Amino acid sequence: MERRGSFSPWLRLRSSPSVVEDSGMSQTIFVQEKLPNGLRVVIEVMPHVQSAACGFLARTGARDDSRQLAGVSHFLEHMCFKGTRKRTSIQINIEFDQMGAQYNAFTSRDRTFYYGWVRPEDFDRQLELLADMMRSTLPPDEFETEKNVVLEEIAMSRDDLASTAYDILYEHLCADSDLAWPILGYEETIRAMTRDQMHEYFRRRYAPDNLVLIVAGNLDPDQVMDSARRYCGDWEPAGETNGQRVRPQMREGTAARAMDRFHQQAIMLAYPAAAGTDPLDETAEAAAAILGGVNSRFYWNIMQKGLSPRAGAFRDEYADFGALTLFGLCEPENCEKLVEAMRREAAELVEKGVEPKEIARVKNLRRTSLAVESETPFYRLGQIADDIEYFGAPRPAEARMAAVNAVSAESIREYFERFPITGPGYLISVGPRNWPT
């Protein structure tokens, strides 16, 4: 569902910075501008804080890798820390540390994000450093070394039962789409990957018109824009369009993978769920939390009854796709009992509805989380990145809180009517037992 522009009253272009007021209680200022080369800059001015954060959102992730280059997005994230025309990898790390920055990067299936959080007086220096990294030289002498680091990550992931089961789930659940391969890629694709292949991907996917500079903190937006032009204004567009993502068609079915190196069995049961753009986004989160979050039904009726040492429910959301997955670990001989218990809890939630105390509990947890995040520039970067991906524009913190306040027994009932969790779903079993056969 396309909701671009739904929040346009809250954000206008740079010629007239947007001011958002919520019942006279708060004020949010967003400034947005696009440089001539296509780089989008989104700034949230937070005069009440004593820090500033910024990050480059690369609108590319594992689902933009080709099957032959599975893992290139994540590998590239590593390489952007390995050197530029101005700095070596050692100098990059030293400069972050000299600023006292809290910095890192991550790659997901739909994005890569590089970020740092510093005192306002170090902001310009940090922005210049991050911008320099976005024009990495992908140093050839670092490429093979870092390839071994990524291969070690893949090996570590394969030693983790939950991670292995999750990758196998998507391999089957989204077999017809670009969500089928793991974020880290495969050992064979990483080993075969060349620097030239990565550089071509980098040239296209890190073009300025596919990047967003997100800034939050106690800053003068005019000075931020001056810095953005100075450090990013000469970047050249790639001059070509990027590939289109394929929306997966979720299936029902069963898959088992016997792996003797594990002693427990992992069970995952997946259903279609609301995408990140869906109006019931917060309702979907609340439903998952009631079923399988902290002090949830799974906790009291599955874990506390000895059926599983670890069980829950989580939702994956993208702009075009969502999945709700019920999961649990158990002794191999208890697979049937665990699946039966998971299905029973799901059915009871749908058929009997939620209790008022459950709604109050998860909404209060979410409110606290949002309140803390809304006061912190570092966390606001992630929230704004989500808003840009799902709504086309940043939202004030009050808009997120309003969506949480709107969650009700009726909205949860409506959600399960649209996205039922009482059917077969897609069942994955991974562990020493080859079940079901």
Residue 46 belongs to domain spanning: 12-232
* Per-residue pLDDT reduced to its tens digit, 340-382: 999 999 999 999 999 999 999 999 999 999 999 999 999 999 9
Number of independent structural domains in the chain: 2
For residues 268 and 165, the answer to whether their CB atoms sit within 8 Å is yes
Same domain assignment for residues 286 and 407: yes
Same domain, 206 and 259: no
pLDDT for 24 beyond 90: no
Domain holding 94: CATH number? Answer: 3.30.830.10
Question: How many other C-beta atoms can be found within 10 angstroms of the C-beta atom of residue 304?
Answer: 10
Beta carbons within 10 angstroms of residue 337's beta carbon = 16
Say if 99 falls within a structural domain.
yes
Same structural domain, 171 and 109: yes
β-bridge partners, 55: 115, 214
Are 296 and 417 members of one domain? yes
Sheet holding 18-21, edge to edge: 18-21, 27-34, 40-45, 211-217, 52-58, 112-118, 102-107
The residue among 294, 310, 416, 275 whose CA lies nearest residue 362 is 294
242 within a domain of the structure (yes/no): no
pLDDT at 17 over 60: no
Spatial distance between the Cα atoms of 133 and 140, rounded to a whole number of angstroms: 15
> Given this model, what pLDDT does residue 240 score?
66
Domain check: are 264 and 337 in the same one? yes
Query: Residue 243 falls within a domain, yes or no?
Result: no
Structure tokens, 385? 């990145």
pLDDT at 295 exceeding the cut of 60 = yes
271 compared with 241, residue with greater pLDDT: 271
Q: What is the pLDDT of residues 414-428, one digit of tens each?
A: 999 999 999 999 999
Tens digits of per-residue pLDDT, 75-90?
Answer: 999 999 999 999 999 9
Question: In the numeric block, which tokens belong to residue 415?
Answer: 């959600």
> Rounded to whole angstroms, how far apart are CA atoms 6 and 2?
9
Mean pLDDT on 120-138 = 98
343/352 Cα distance (integer angstroms): 14
**Using an 8 Å Cβ cutoff, are 56 and 207 in contact?**
no
Question: What pLDDT, on the 0 to 100 scale, is given for residue 28?
Answer: 74
* CA dist 113 → 67, 158, 381 (Å): 22, 24, 10
Q: Kindly state whether residue 2 falls inside one of the protein's structural domains.
A: no
Pair 66, 145 in one domain: yes
Same structural domain for residues 420 and 319?
A: yes
Q: How far apart are CA 127 and CA 357, in angstroms?
A: 45
Lookup: tokens for 244 = 């289109």
Q: Find the DSSP H helices in 312-352.
A: 335-352
pTM: 0.91
29, 165: one domain: yes
Residue 238: band (very low, low, confident or very high) from pLDDT cuts 50, 70, 90: confident
Are residues 63 and 205 both part of a single domain? yes
Q: Record the tokens describing residue 288, joined without a space.
A: 């998952």
Which is it for the CA torsion 68, 74, 76, 78, positive or negative?
negative
For residues 213 and 275, membership in a common domain is answered with: no
Domain for residue 248, yes or no?
A: no
pLDDT over 80 at 6, yes or no: no
Same-domain status, 330 and 380:
yes
Which pLDDT does position 27 carry in this prediction?
63
Residues 174 and 306 in one domain: no
